């Protein structure tokens, strides 16, 4: 199985990026072709053989990763699967690529694999990095309904069938949008605790646009993908959960502004999932109302 890797960077972490690329180059098996996308920023010096794309403007996370996919040809079809890795991450084991190849070879219906993210100093995996509701045991692998954007592997045949990440999201929930489309097309998604990406512990709210885009994109996600009956239920539950978490007043204002923006701006093409996909999500432990 031919593997490629897409790494998105703002060019501000050259040492971490170099360490990541070294860890990819050190993987066992056939060489992994790597594309590094400079998302609105010039790229630092990179190892020989790494493909590069420098974008004049920041297209956001999904837009930048889609450019990286297309660098491998339409829907990335020059390779069989793509690794998507954060530029400040690192693959601590040289066996990860071989595990990816084995997993895809063993299950032709497996479309996306979500890696386990662990802090390099403590080994701790944050609950938010376990893509399921029952997240207390990050060492348990399972079938899931979404995946981690900067620590995953996806078959390019999935991207060819259902399309790439939603460019307009810019940041937040783009993985779930793709995951729901893949599940609706019949593909499986797995969280694998034995495939590890080291990544320093951070808070998602460090991004200035976090609260607004999380709310806006949550509305877009529902409007694009859910049957009409479930849209108000799903968004009503998230509104109540957000209020129950008692965010600060500035955060709440930003969230409510994004929530309104999600309803008043175009969400992109609407392709509601089938009801049997709703049931599949429910059986997997995450019905699309929470």
288 lies in some domain: no
* Distance (Å, whole) CA 46 – CA 7: 12
| Nearest partner of 6 among 78, 66, 80, 59, judged by Cα | 66
Question: pLDDT-derived band of residue 206, with 50, 70 and 90 as boundaries?
Answer: low
Q: Using one digit for the tens of pLDDT, what is the confidence trace for 221-268?
A: 999 999 999 999 999 999 999 999 999 999 999 999 999 999 999 999
Are 165 and 105 part of one and the same domain? yes
Q: Domains in the chain: how many in total?
A: 2
pLDDT for residue 82 = 98
Cβ–Cβ under 8 Å, residues 174 and 217: yes
Are 163 and 192 part of one and the same domain? yes
Are 279 and 226 part of one and the same domain? yes
- What are the DSSP calls for 133-161, one per residue? S--S-TT--EE-S---TTEEEEEHHHHHH
137-141, 203-207, 280-284, range with the lowest pLDDT: 203-207
Containing structural domain, residue 228: 205-283
Look-up of token digits 């010039």 = 42
Are 159 and 51 part of one and the same domain? yes
Q: 123 burial class (0-12, 13-18, 19+ CB within 10 angstroms)? A: exposed
* CA dihedral of residues 169, 282, 103, 130 (deg, nearest 10): 60
Are 170 and 49 part of one and the same domain? yes
290 lies in some domain: no
Q: Using one digit for the tens of pLDDT, what is the confidence trace for 90-143?
A: 999 999 999 999 999 999 999 999 999 999 999 999 999 999 999 999 999 999
Cβ–Cβ under 8 Å, residues 125 and 200: no
CATH value at residue 128: 3.90.550.10
């Amino acid at each position: 199985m031919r593997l490629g890797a897409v790494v998105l960077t703002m060019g501000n972490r050259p040492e971490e990026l170099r360490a990541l690329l070294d860890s990819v180059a050190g993987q066992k098996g056939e060489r992994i072709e790597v594309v590094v996308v400079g998302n609105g920023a010039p790229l630092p010096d990179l190892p020989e053989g790494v493909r590069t794309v420098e974008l004049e403007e920041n297209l956001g996370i999904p837009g930048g990763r889609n450019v990286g996919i297309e660098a491998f040809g339409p829907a990335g079809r020059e390779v069989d699967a793509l690794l998507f890795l954060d530029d400040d991450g690192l693959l601590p084991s040289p066996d990860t690529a071989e595990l990816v190849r084995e997993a895809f070879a063993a299950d032709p219906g497996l479309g996306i694999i979500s890696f386990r993210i662990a802090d390099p100093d403590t080994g701790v995996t944050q609950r938010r990095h376990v893509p399921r509701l029952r997240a207390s045991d990050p060492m348990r692998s399972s079938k899931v309904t979404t995946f981690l954007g900067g620590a995953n592997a996806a078959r390019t045949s999935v991207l060819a069938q259902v399309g790439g990440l939603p460019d307009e999201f810019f940041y937040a929930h783009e993985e779930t949008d793709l995951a729901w489309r893949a599940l609706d097309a019949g593909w499986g998604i797995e969280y694998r605790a034995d495939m590890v990406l080291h990544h320093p512990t951070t808070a998602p709210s460090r991004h200035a646009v976090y609260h607004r885009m999380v709310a806006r994109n949550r509305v877009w996600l529902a409007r694009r993908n859910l049957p009409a009956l479930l849209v108000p239920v799903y968004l009503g539950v998230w509104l109540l959960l957000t209020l129950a978490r008692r965010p600060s007043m500035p955060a709440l204002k930003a969230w409510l502004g994004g929530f309104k923006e999600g309803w008043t701006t175009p969400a992109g093409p609407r392709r509601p999932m089938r009801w049997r996909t709703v049931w599949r999500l429910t059986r997997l432990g995450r019905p699309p109302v929470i």
